[in-house]
Amino acid sequence: MLNIGDPSIQAHEVFMQRCLQLAVLGAGHVAPNPLVGAVLVHQGRIIGEGYHKKYGGPHAEVNCIDAVAEKDRELISRSVMYVSLEPCAHHGKTPPCADLLIRHKVPQVVVGCRDPFPEVNGKGIEKLRAAGIDVIVGVCEEDAKAVNKRFFTYHTAYRPYVTLKWAQTADGFIAGIPGERLMISGALTNRFVHRWRSEEAAILVGTNTALQDDPQLNTRYWTGPDPIRLVVDLDLRLPVSLQLFNGASRTIVINTIKQGEEQGIQYYQVDRKKELVPQIMEALYRLRINSVLVEGGAVLLQSFIDSGYWDEARVITNTALTAGTGLPAPRLLMAESVYTEPIQTDLIQVFTRPAVSL
């Protein structure tokens, strides 16, 4: 338990915030692993920094210690390691980070929050303490959890973190008359959307959106990785000529007819007689997809809202465009506004579902 009267707490928070700044640099590259940053400090001076850069690659603590200059190597055993998430204690794709810190005789470790993954969840902290290392847990804990909201949701709610996204006109329409594509958001806003895509493990659209818009669902307007493409096509009526099936990135078709993989496309079968959204959540959990951006259409978006399976909604409103008629935008129920930003004629609003515990 932290002693908030301790003057060292402020210093701990400063270095932990640096860990969190580093952690988010791995966004889009480490899933289903968590975002983690680490900082090694000797008498108030940072001598090493690192973050988890790529799934399957070295963890933050390894990169941090490797970054220490040769002239400072002797200081490692007299320094404090700050890490945003509990060091792992198990053999996964890499050796345990707790063992690394013990081997380098780091005397104190300051942790942002515990890791909810069952293979860790307190075991890393216990191992460090058993080796005589002083461990402080809970510095900037809420911020540390927020950075890993996707990871925490996956391991505590047993489903992916769900972000809804749509663009609407000033008078509340998501599309124009049938057969006519309505371009709502501007070019600059589209770059934001593609950045959002790069931060999520997967992106999901419905059958009608795939047919009418023929989307690529990639990050061509941003530098990040493309998400896994998911499409709901219950009756398998989408033509293979669509860009979704061009092989550019992994594509999964949620349907009621078949299971397996054919010609590079993965098919995941669901039961037509059961509610769709919970089945999608179960499918993505089983596929180890810890976050999904739902981009449409309106019926699919509304089904996520009505079922309560959503965590965040990002709504883009073109304040200078009216449609007069068309397809109404989804209706958020009990949403809490957390962020608003104008971009030219577009207004980006971010909402969260209240009372969601990470």
The CB density around residue 300, as the number of other CB atoms within 10 Å, is 23
Point out the residues that are catalytic: 61
* Residue 232 three-state SS: strand
- Sheet order of strands, 134-137 included: 45-51, 37-42, 80-85, 108-113, 134-137
* Residue 51 three-state SS: strand
Pick the closest to residue 280 from 348, 342, 202, 168 (CA basis): 202
Do 265 and 247 meet the contact criterion of CB atoms below 8 Å apart?
A: no
Sign of CA dihedral 297, 302, 303, 309: positive
Q: Residue 91: which residues within 8 A CB-CB, separation 6 or more?
A: none
